[in-house]
């Protein structure tokens, strides 16, 4: 069992709501929460840019396999990690198909909930 020290919140598929003046505003509804570990993987080595999803990733989130795989379907594109901000989900991997853990490759997109 991996456990974890941070909580990842999967945002459900983007929905569009109208505000008071009729403009369409995108919104995410929070889905499942998963405990795991977040690691920073992006460095300053731009010598090997192959435009692959793994190369674009800034972080990797590792969590237990259990029932977490179904939450990362094709409709889920964003998630939030408590204390770290919001991320775009680039790739979800079950390494070698062993069903022991899941690696979620993420790209940092900022803290969308903060007010400046």
The two tokens of residue 32 are: 């499942």
pLDDT tens figures, 27-44: 666 778 889 999 988 655
For 71-95, how does the pLDDT look when each residue is reduced to its tens digit (9 = 90+)?
666 567 788 898 889 998 888 888 8
Distance CA 83, CA 77 (A): 19
Beta carbons within 10 angstroms of residue 28's beta carbon: 19
| CA 4/CA 61 separation, integer angstroms | 10
- The per-residue pLDDT for range 90-109, each reduced to its tens digit, is 888 888 888 888 898 899 98
Instruction: Give this prediction's pTM.
Output: 0.72
């Amino acid at each position: 069992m991996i456990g974890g020290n941070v909580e990842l919140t999967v945002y459900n598929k983007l929905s569009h709501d109208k505000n008071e003046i009729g403009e369409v505003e995108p919104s995410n509804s929070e889905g499942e929460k998963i405990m795991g570990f977040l690691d920073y993987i992006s460095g300053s080595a731009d010598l090997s840019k192959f435009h692959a999803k793994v190369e674009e990733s800034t972080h990797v989130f590792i969590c237990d396999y259990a029932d977490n795989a179904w939450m990362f379907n094709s409709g889920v594109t964003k998630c939030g990690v408590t204390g770290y901000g919001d991320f775009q989900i680039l790739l979800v991997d079950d390494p070698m198909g062993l069903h022991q853990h899941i690696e979620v490759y993420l790209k940092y997109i900022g803290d969308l909930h903060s007010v400046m």
